[in-house]
Amino acid sequence: MESEGVAVPRTRIWAIVIGVILGLVGAVWLLQGIGVVKGSFMTGQPIWAIIGLVAAARTAGLPSKRFRRRVVTGTQATNKGTTA
């Protein structure tokens, strides 16, 4: 997989996949905990709503941290490759 001409390492792809799965599972747990999704022992149990909220919230911030590009300032760009 490539992003703007830069190869994406397999570890990053797996981190994205696992993050998406954890976010979806967290959303299901949250919905079961508050009683929206029925048919499970977790339905209506507040602890599952809390666990689901934590899991979903934890994964919500990952894309912004994972895909934030490092900005190179002008002095860093001009000094790149030079030694003092």
In order along its 84 residues, the chain shows pLDDT tens digits of 555 666 778 888 888 888 889 999 999 999 999 999 998 898 999 999 999 999 988 887 665 555 555 555 656 555 555 555
Residue 28 near residue 52 (C-beta atoms within 8 A): yes
Q: Is residue 61 part of a domain?
A: yes
Q: Is residue 21 part of a domain?
A: yes
Fill in the amino acid letter for 8.
Answer: V
Range of the domain at 18: 9-75
- Going along the chain, which residue ranges are E strands? 2-3, 6-7
Q: Is residue 81 part of a domain?
A: no
Q: Is residue 83 part of a domain?
A: no
Q: Is residue 2 part of a domain?
A: no
As a whole number of angstroms, the distance between CA 30 and CA 53 comes to: 6
Residue 8 near residue 14 (C-beta atoms within 8 A): no
Q: Is residue 1 part of a domain?
A: no
pTM for the structure as a whole: 0.62
Q: Is residue 3 part of a domain?
A: no
